[in-house]
Amino acid sequence: MRELLIVVEKVVDRDISILIRGESGTGKNFLAEVIHASGPRRSAPFVHIDCASIPHDLFESELFGYEKGTFTDAESRKIDKLEAALNGTVYFDEVAALTPPLQAKLLRAIEERRFTRLGGSQTVAFAARVISSTSADLEALVEEGAFRRDLLYRVNVMTLAIPPLRQRPEDIPLLASSFLRASGRKPVRGFEADAMAMLKAYPWPGNVRELRNVVERAALLEDGSRITAASLPVEHFRDIASIVESAVKEELTLEDLERRYITEVLRRTGSNFSRAAEVLGINRKTLREKRRKYGID
């Protein structure tokens, strides 16, 4: 993480497109906001565009806006995402979720630094910095024909890769303590050794987001001055010690450990994807991707 932040310090003042890579929950959105707030555009708008949540049939109007009378409900001109960003930063969250036709329109806007509102004829200048993020393997999607190679080159001038939490367990005590302070539960001032041992042993498939949720919940349940193992959510940590112990004995990789834990959560929830995703601290889309990746039946 220190190496990553050193690179961030070098790029915040350079007006280049940045692609932030990392699993769900690692903090991609937070890093994008840090880059914006640390650079020369900090006083201009930061516009977050969640590519995965905007319906595809509405994305173009959300991105470019439209003129009055373009369609039935267009009673006035709509100024939207790109134009609202002005000289600030526009952040395309989960850019891999865009369909190929939308990718082509976005590529043209980024390359030409101008666009046209729907139903309009005049071009609008687009001067914002572009930051994108993805939890997907864009190179694999390019080979499959699901993502444009030229758009990948355009948004990926500089890559910032955030490592998953399981690869940096030494960060867990620091992050957990920070989330505990932020929770506002003043009587709870720290963690007992058994609770911290469980936090450090857990593989955290939901990464930092999942850790924050667990700490905030434990802080609400704890009646004493320090969080104990009993205050941690049972569904997260039941049999974790035995899973980790067997993984060590069998010399499993981290991916094998994650596969085993996700399989166990799916079994316990009866393959209820909504519930399993909630337990894991990830969204349903990420869970389905991990299920396909690991071949979990």
State if pTM tops 0.85: no
Same domain, 181 and 34: no
256 shares a domain with 145 = no
Shared-domain flag, residues 150 and 192: no
Confidence bin at 220 (pLDDT 50/70/90): confident
Same domain for 190 and 110?
A: no
Please give the residue range of the domain that contains residue 180.
165-294
**Residue 61 pLDDT > 80:** no
pLDDT at 240 over 80: no
Residue whose C-alpha is closest to residue 264's, from 288, 285, 243, 281: 243
CATH number of the domain at 289, please: 1.10.8.60
Q: What is the pLDDT of residues 128-175, one digit of tens each?
A: 899 999 999 999 999 999 999 999 999 999 999 999 998 888 899 999
Which domain CATH number covers 138? 3.40.50.300
Name the band, by pLDDT with cuts 50, 70 and 90, for residue 68: low
Average pLDDT, integer, range 277-281: 75
Residue 20: pLDDT band with limits 50, 70, 90: very high
Mean pLDDT of 263-278: 78
Mean pLDDT of 291-297: 87
pLDDT at 152: 96
Distance between CA atoms of residues 278 and 266, nearest Å: 11
Q: How far apart are CA 290 and CA 207, in angstroms?
A: 14
**Does 190 share its domain with 139?**
no
**Most confidently predicted of 125-139, 261-275, 281-295:** 125-139
Q: Domain boundary at 161, 176, 202, which?
A: 161
DSSP letters spanning the chain: -HHHHHHHHHHTTS---EEEE--TTSSHHHHHHHHHHHSTTTTS-EEEEETTTS-HHHHHHHHH-B-TTSSTT--S-B--HHHHHTTSEEEEETGGGS-HHHHHHHHHHHHHTEEE-BT--SEEE---EEEEEESS-HHHHHHHTSS-HHHHHHH-SEEEEPPPGGG-GGGHHHHHHHHHHHTT-TT--EE-HHHHHHHHHS--TTHHHHHHHHHHHHHHH--SSEE-GGGS-HHHHTTHHHHHHHHHHTT--HHHHHHHHHHHHHHHTTT-HHHHHHHHTS-HHHHHHHHHHHT--
Q: What is the pLDDT of residue 44?
A: 93
Total number of domains constituting the chain: 2
Q: Are residues 20 and 143 in the same domain?
A: yes
Q: Which residue has the higher pLDDT, 38 or 256?
A: 38
- Flag whether pLDDT at 111 surpasses 60: yes
82 and 182 inside one domain: no
pLDDT higher at 96 or 115 = 96
pLDDT of residue 18: 96
Pair 187, 94 in one domain? no
- Mark which of 107, 135, 161 sits at the end of a domain: 161
Say if residue 238's pLDDT is above 80.
no
* φ, ψ of residue 99 in degrees (nearest 5): -75, 160
Q: Please tell me whether residues 12 and 77 are part of one structural domain.
A: yes
Question: Do 151 and 30 share a domain, yes or no?
Answer: yes
* Domain termination site, one of 114, 136, 161: 161
Same domain, 149 and 12: yes
* Predicted pLDDT of residue 193: 85
pLDDT of residue 82: 80
Whether residue 38 sits in one domain with residue 142: yes
